Amino acid sequence: MIERLLAMHAASMLKRTLLRMGADDVIVLVDETKALQLKFANNLFSAVQSWSSADLEVFASVKKRCVSTTLKMLSADAVKQCAASIIEFAEALPPNDDFFGIARGPFRYRNIPGIYDSRISKISPDRIVAFVTDALKLSSSLGASRASGVLDVHSSSNFILTSGGVKTAERSTGVYLSIRAFTDKDASGHSLQAARTLHDFRPADSVKEAVHYAMLAASPKQGEAGKYDVLFTPLAVANLLDYLGSAASAFSVEAGLSCLAGKINKQVASDKLTFYDDATYPGGFGATNFDHEGVPTRRNKIIDRGVLKTYLHNTSTAEKYKTATTANAGLISPEPFNLVVEPGEGLFDEMVASIKHGLIVTNLWYTRFNNYEKGDFSAIPRDALLLVEDGKVKHSLRNLRISDNLLRVIRNIKAVGNKPAQIKAWEVETPVISPAVLVSGVTVTRPQ
Amino acid sequence: MVHPRPDESLADFALGIASQLGAGYCEVRIESTTSNGFILKNGVPQIAGFDRLSGISVRFVVDNALGFMATNHLDRAKLKSQLGKAVKITCLTASRSEKISLADEKSVHADYSVKEKEPLSGMKPREKLSILLDAEKAVLDTKANVPSRYLSLSDFVREKLFMNSEGSVIRSRIPRTSFNYLITVAHGDKSCQRYQQYGASGGFEALNPDLPAIMRSEVLAADNNLRSGRLPPEGNVDLICAPNVVGIMVHESVGHPYEADRILGREAAQAGESFVTKEMLNTRIGSEAVNVSDDPTLPSSFGLYLYDDEGVQARKKRLISKGIITEFLHNRETAASLGIKSNAASRAASFEHEPIIRMSNTFMEPGSFSEEELIEGVKLGVYIKNFMEWNIDDRRLNQKYVGSEAYLIKNGRLTTPVFKPMIEIDTPRLYSSIDAVAKNLEFSAGTCGKGEPMQGIPVTMGGPSIRLRNIRLAKSIPNDQ
């Protein structure tokens, strides 16, 4: 609490000092986080890690020259030195003609439900350890020969102060389990639980899913290249949707990192796909009350029944694109917070039954783009990869690669499941809430 | 702003507290990092920034279990409190913990720094930004259609103090620079992209001095490829892969699978495991021509260090010698489990991260041929100079590399450009297909990701040009159609 008060005082002093020294816009973000991670491998704990940090991030513009820094020392002298360094640094730069200022508040905020749980911030060490030991016992009892993963618990306190009249704060918590169960060297299943409250945290569900897939993955055969209908489970499709969400940032559009450039109001996907960035999603792992300019967050429909409706903006990119901010400001560029696919009507088993010749992909990794603007990419199925023939799972496969185009994949969505899952994974940076998604005619390749 | 030098008395204090709390082994890292960064997007300077960060981490073994804590509060009372909590919860895991033992090491007293001929602190922000503006100008001067240009430059100096309960005290100061670009070159409806990172340790003299020439060459080659590139030849052909491609190959399918923590399963839920088992040591994985090493001591390299983050003196590791697997990458924990000494591959991205097994500068050792001789030995094949897309499965067997700048080889001579030749091959076949290695050793920089929380760490990867016989080249997938 004392650190927080010190940081808030330093933030206030820094803002005043910077404005007095000639800054036009100032944003100060204070983030205080405590986190704990239990890492386990081969059914044993392999490390216990804990962190405690307080960061004071600063953004300032001086005559359209934009500078960011992080301040750790909170004394009056340190604040003055930091302000002087920012001004000196800014004066040495040419102007950023893409910068049009920050949002003007003050704003009213609604309190997003389900992003803070006081029980997590006070959780006992014994209970945290028990989450893992219980998960390992359950995975063994269900038939896994070994399991690896992490359990993370964190609580954060954030405060923002801007020259646009913003002064607000929020608290958040999170608890996360990632478990990869093995029934053999080549047979594994991976599942995750990402929750902001203990009420929403159901580790046993993830253990059961990971072991279930590990069982199905037993005795994999070499797969063949070709075209397949692919049913992506939530974990697998989240990997691709994370890239699609990033591609919606106006910054990505300009940097050559987006296959959505020039496609506003165009049909970019199947009409089965409605895709949001929703920082207000109750219990969303990336949900937050305000963006990094302090603008109240909202639900932004990026793709509506296949039609691209908007890019994600901060105040500056919105001005450039002659629209309003979508409240997606990061200090450098607009970013998605919490990506959401609108559930469809597909029952998982019915979607499997509808596949004549296809695959179930339960995890995807190492997605790399040959051309971000065109959307050409490849990615590798990991863990259980199942061959489906005439609506039935035949056996597991190995050693295949999805080599296709992101726009073609979303255009070929045949069905969207009715049961969303929240995903935050090692390779899914922005939290994604999505059901399983069935895509027709996906190109699959194999090595020589 | 004056940045305090890492404080030995604070490290001593942490070691003392850990010992009082029952830790049998303990190590402390205190770091101070100064950094600057600049972004130029389509010719417009975006945000620029500077940071001066410091913090402390303590890693310890208590009741044979491994614990770690990190904080940027350098206050002793807070450090003592957090360390107490960290030890307590680590003890709670001990009954179901891997029994940690560390390979023996002598205590070390060392103090080293990488010299800067052109100190990073001596260059003003505008001068640093001018490096990007010059590169941008070189791109525009080609008159090719380059609709998006994303260029970034960063420099950082890390001062580190390492101390452990065995008496080691190691101070280091390593400055590094990094330049990255992503450019899109278009011609009609076709386009291609190139991403590349350059990085080095040292002052600004260590960064490639001719970045404008590199950018110009990239754009002209991409434009030529778009205008005149043909599909790669059908069937199996011979390949010449240039240093940039060889570097990523050895990083992905030699360096990573030889990390002993992956072999032993510790990263199973993150970066994955390995097709390599400890029993495969001293067995054949490639042809006699294949020699691959990892060497953190290479001067001016991006991946340079002289002592790892467990205080072990760095040395060159020979991962493959004449096609035989000869060494894995180890920390003290994995070395102990195999009954050997650590070879100093333990690195942490910052004080906030636990040290884990990482590569440094991984490369194929040069052979005796010239690149021209390799090409002359190919009747029909493809020369691949660099790449864009690549990936590999999490056991490091099934890999793909898609060429960017590439040329058809006919009767020993380079002819027309080839559009996106795609190698998709398994690891033993890749290294068994190499029949000749040139002597033109070159390195590329990269930021390698591993661990949870993710740790991006500076590395280089390289090699000379190599010749592979009888390889199937897949055609690239056409753009969105």
**How far from the centroid of its chain's Cα atoms is residue A60's Cα?**
27
Q: Any idea what the Cα angle at residue B413 is, between residues B409 and B416, rounded to 5°? A: 55
Task: Characterize the bridge pairing of strands B292-294 and B169-187.
Answer: unpaired
Helices (H), B48-169: 76-93, 125-141
- What span, in angstroms and rounded, lies between the C-alpha atoms of A232 and A413? 10
* Residue whose C-alpha is closest to residue B237's, from B88, B80, B423, B403: B423
Looking at residue B1, what is its pLDDT? 47
- What span, in angstroms and rounded, lies between the C-alpha atoms of A198 and B267? 27
Q: Which residues of B are less than 8 Å from A52 in CB distance?
A: 69-71, 73, 78, 82
Domain boundaries, chain B: 8-228, 236-474
* Residue whose C-alpha is closest to residue A343's, from A437, A255, A264, A213: A437
Q: Residue A102 burial by CB count (10 A; 0-12/13-18/19+): exposed, middle or buried?
A: buried
- What span, in angstroms and rounded, lies between the C-alpha atoms of A156 and A173? 6
Looking at residue B478, what is its pLDDT? 53
Count the neighbouring beta carbons within 10 Å of the beta carbon of residue A276: 23
Residue where the block lists tokens 């940097």: A255
Asked if A148 is an interface residue toward chain B (Cβ–Cβ < 8 A), one would say yes
Using CA atoms, how far residue A32 sits from A27, A171, B350, in Å, is: 16, 10, 19
Asked if A39 is an interface residue toward chain B (Cβ–Cβ < 8 A), one would say yes
- What span, in angstroms and rounded, lies between the C-alpha atoms of A400 and A20? 60
- What span, in angstroms and rounded, lies between the C-alpha atoms of B79 and B67? 15
**How far from the centroid of its chain's Cα atoms is residue A165's Cα?**
29
Count the neighbouring beta carbons within 10 Å of the beta carbon of residue A266: 10
* Residue whose C-alpha is closest to residue A45's, from A183, A147, A195, A181: A147
Nearest Cβ partner for A46 among B85, B149, B266: B266
- What span, in angstroms and rounded, lies between the C-alpha atoms of B431 and A138? 42
Asked if A6 is an interface residue toward chain B (Cβ–Cβ < 8 A), one would say no
CA distance A110 to chain B (A): 31
Burial B292-326 (b: 16+ CB within 10 A, else e): bbbbbbbebbbbbbbbbbbbbbbeebbbbbebbbb
* Residue whose C-alpha is closest to residue A289's, from A427, A158, A101, A442: A158
Ranges under pLDDT 70 in chain A: 1-3
Lookup: tokens for B284: 């054949």
Lookup: tokens for A299: 């639900």
Asked if B178 contacts B197 with a C-beta cutoff of 8 angstroms, the reply is yes
Query: How many CA atoms within 13 Å lie on the side-chain side of B191?
Result: 23
Chain B residue with minimal CA distance to A148? Answer: B269
Domains of chain A by range and CATH? 121-161+172-219 (3.30.2290.10), 222-445 (no CATH)
Residue B19, H or E segment: helix B8-20
- Say which residues have a Cβ less than 8 Å from residue A199's Cβ, sequence separation at least 6: A117
- Report the phi/psi class of residue B64: left, alpha or beta, with left for phi > 0 and alpha for psi in -120 to 50: left
- What span, in angstroms and rounded, lies between the C-alpha atoms of A406 and A284? 25
- On the question of a cis peptide bond just before residue A381, with omega within 30 degrees of 0, the verdict is no
Asked if A254 and B85 come within 8 Å (Cβ–Cβ), the reply is no
- Say which residues have a Cβ less than 8 Å from residue A160's Cβ, sequence separation at least 6: A27, A28, A29, A30, A166, A167, A168, A169, A290, A292, A294
- What span, in angstroms and rounded, lies between the C-alpha atoms of B306 and B344? 9
Strand residue runs (E) in B317-405: 317-321, 324-325, 346-347, 356-357, 361-364, 380-384, 387-392, 398-403
* Residue whose C-alpha is closest to residue A357's, from A402, A381, A392, A388: A388
Looking at residue A75, what is its pLDDT? 79
- What span, in angstroms and rounded, lies between the C-alpha atoms of A79 and B449? 34
How large is the ipTM? 0.96
Q: Which residues of B are less than 8 Å from A53 in CB distance?
A: 55, 70-73, 352
Instruction: Classify the C-alpha dihedral B121-B125-B127-B130 as positive or negative.
Output: positive
Q: What are phi and psi of B303, to 5 degrees?
A: -95, 20
Looking at residue B476, what is its pLDDT? 60
Asked if B68 is an interface residue toward chain A (Cβ–Cβ < 8 A), one would say yes
Asked if A308 contacts A302 with a C-beta cutoff of 8 angstroms, the reply is yes
Nearest Cβ partner for A129 among B86, B92, B126: B92
- What span, in angstroms and rounded, lies between the C-alpha atoms of B431 and B249? 10
Query: Largest Cα–Cα distance of chain A, in whole Å?
Result: 72
Task: Give the torsion through C-alpha atoms of A308, A313, A315, A319, to 10 deg.
Answer: -40
Measured between alpha carbons, how far apart are the two ends of chain A, in Å? 60
Count the neighbouring beta carbons within 10 Å of the beta carbon of residue B390: 19
Nearest Cβ partner for A85 among B1, B67, B389: B1
Which of B389, B480, B481 to probe by mutation at the A interface, max A CB count within 10 Å? B480
Q: Residue A20 burial by CB count (10 A; 0-12/13-18/19+): exposed, middle or buried?
A: exposed
Lookup: tokens for A154: 């964190």
Count the neighbouring beta carbons within 10 Å of the beta carbon of residue A224: 12
pLDDT truncated to tens, each residue of chain B (481 aa)? Answer: 445 678 999 999 999 999 999 999 999 999 999 999 999 999 999 999 999 889 999 999 999 999 999 999 889 999 999 999 999 999 999 999 999 999 999 999 999 999 999 999 889 899 999 999 999 999 999 999 999 999 999 999 999 999 999 999 999 999 999 999 999 999 999 999 999 999 999 999 998 779 999 999 999 999 999 999 999 998 899 999 999 999 999 999 999 999 999 999 999 999 999 999 999 999 999 999 999 999 999 999 999 999 999 999 999 999 999 999 999 999 999 999 999 999 999 999 999 999 999 999 999 999 999 999 999 999 999 999 999 999 999 999 999 999 999 999 999 999 999 999 999 999 999 999 999 999 999 999 999 999 999 999 999 999 999 999 999 998 665 554 4
Residue where the block lists tokens 């920034």: B49
Q: Residue B244 burial by CB count (10 A; 0-12/13-18/19+): exposed, middle or buried?
A: buried
- On the question of a cis peptide bond just before residue A343, with omega within 30 degrees of 0, the verdict is no
What's the DSSP call for residue B475? P
Burial B161-174 (b: 16+ CB within 10 A, else e): bbbbbeebbbbbbb
Angle of helix A125-142 relative to helix B76-93, nearest 10 degrees? 30
Edge-to-edge strand list for the sheet holding B292-294: B324-325, B317-321, B292-294, B361-364, B455-463, B442-450
- What span, in angstroms and rounded, lies between the C-alpha atoms of B421 and B418? 7
Lookup: tokens for A320: 């450039």
Percent helix, strand, coil in chain B (nearest 5)? 25, 40, 35
Q: Which residues of A are less than 8 Å from B393 in CB distance?
A: 366, 380, 382, 399
Query: How many Cβ contacts (< 8 angstroms) between chains A and B?
Result: 273
Nearest Cβ partner for B93 among A38, A257, A376: A38
Asked if A314 is an interface residue toward chain B (Cβ–Cβ < 8 A), one would say no
What's the DSSP call for residue A282? T
B8-228 has CATH 3.40.50.620 classification: no
Mean predicted lDDT score pLDDT of chain A: 96
Which of B148, B183, B226 to probe by mutation at the A interface, max A CB count within 10 Å? B148
- pLDDT digit string (tens) for A203-246? 999 999 999 999 999 999 999 999 999 999 999 999 999 999 99
B39 bridge partner residues: B152
* Residue whose C-alpha is closest to residue B194's, from B212, B180, B206, B211: B180
Asked if A150 and B397 come within 8 Å (Cβ–Cβ), the reply is no
